[in-house]
Chains A and B, each alone.
Chain A
Amino acid sequence: MIYYLLLPVFSLLLLAIQVTVFDILFFGKTGLEMSLILVVYAGFYLSIIRGIALSFVLGFLLDCITGVVPGFFMLSYVLIFLISKGVSLKVYARGMVFTMGFMFVCVLFEKSLIILMYRGLYGINVFYDILNASLLQAVAAGVFAPAFFVLFHRLEVLFNVSEARSPDQL
């Protein structure tokens, strides 16, 4: 229960850090979507119910803070969580290189959804505009993902929200 109580508070804090601190650290040149790293972490390590709730809340809050199309981040985070969960069930997803590579792909997938949304719904081609920024962000997310996975695991243990993970829970 404590997990669901802490969820909105922790998510809001994480997004506040993402929007303020990382903007300063990277001099506004690129960004580190820590929230997306957490969604992939949830896909790999949390149960479906906890993970999807986390992805939903993170997406909702990100929509509120920076989103222009309400519901976009919510939908894309839920989708990315489900893909991560599916991948973690089929392959051994604990290696560092795999984590980095998968994170890279997930960032590009998210950006592709944005491109598709603009193309499909508004008829605007934003591909070239976000291509360079997306690649840089994908690399940054891939490089930092293993460190953040360790951090998220520590927090999970610290707040005593980790759970016994058996196949039955999936």
Chain B
Amino acid sequence: MASPRKYYAVTAVIIFVVVSLIIFSLNFKSPEEISFFRRVALEAVVPLERAVDLVFSSVVGAWERYVLLVGLERKNRELKAEIASLGRDLSNYREISLDYARLRKLMNMKNDFKFPTVAARVVGRNRSSVFKTVLINKGTADGIKTGFPVMGTGGVAGRIMETSRNASKVLLLVDYNSNIDVIVQKNRCQGVLRGCGSSGCELRYVQRSEDVKTGDAVVSSGLAGVFPQGLLIGKVAIVEKGEAGLFQKITVHPAADITKLEEVLVILRGKEDNG
């Protein structure tokens, strides 16, 4: 006769599999709803990631400063310490300079918007994942809501996918789930920009007769109500008309460097502000 423990195990398997299936399928029924538990997890992970990052950076720093120098001649040690110190200073100055340049660009962009914006720092990313998302350190406490556009240096980076009090998840425009209504700035032809993972984005539904060339700027159309009209999204990289078919195959490179996002601007505007 099977032991009761075996029944517990079978019951647990059934429960967990069914619950997983229900949650997975609920996503297709109401994708906008974010559960309390998801919000809590999102909120908890940001300080934890910062703490891990801090500890890791300290350990690496300590290793570089002390451990590698053990066993060397005194003078050599002093000289290396001096070089290391100068290198650190230089690195710090470079970092400050780069921060300044990035923030100045962001501030310039901020002045261009008629909507209020919130600057946020990217605190977590998983570049190896097929899903292209990043975590930022601002949430509903700063007025951020689901669907708000997110700008990187240079152009649109994505939109807010989920948000908790002090953290938000950004769906980058290169993700396969990202679709943005756009127009080609030069000839105003309309299309839908869909993410294609690491290979950038694809501009779909542009008719073969339209004159689109490499280097043309692609901007948001403002039609879907998520992105304000005229935000720079990217530039046309490849245009293929092919032998047959109604539409052209157009590859677009995002204007914002998605792989190096450090600070972003969240535009505080909802669908109700459409225009």
Contact = CB atoms under 8 A, between A and B. Distances in A.
Nearest to A11: B41
A168 to B, nearest CB: 6
B131 A24 contact: no
A74 B175 contact: no
B111 interface: no
B126 A19 contact: yes
B56 A28 contact: no
Interface stretch (B1-9, B64-72, B76-84, B217-225): B1-9
Interface string B115-151: 0000000001111111111010000000000000000
Contacts of A26: 128
B133 A75 contact: no
B52 A16 contact: yes
A1 interface: no
Given A19-B125, A31-B129, A122-B176, A71 B5 contact: no
Question: In the complex, which of the residues A18, A60, A68, A114 has the most CB atoms of chain B within 10 Å of its own CB atom?
Answer: A68
B196 interface: yes
Question: In the complex, which of the residues B24, B133, B161 has the most CB atoms of chain A within 10 Å of its own CB atom?
Answer: B24
Interface residues of B, number: 54
Contacts of A75: 20-21, 23-24
B127 A68 contact: no
Contacts of A82: 13, 17
Contacts of B62: none
A28 B25 CA distance: 32
Given A69-B177, A70-B24, A71-B27, 19 more contacts: A12-B41, A16-B45, A17-B52, A19-B49, A20-B52, A21-B52, A21-B53, A26-B128, A28-B128, A32-B128, A55-B16, A56-B20, A61-B41, A64-B41, A65-B45, A66-B129, A71-B23, A114-B130, A133-B128
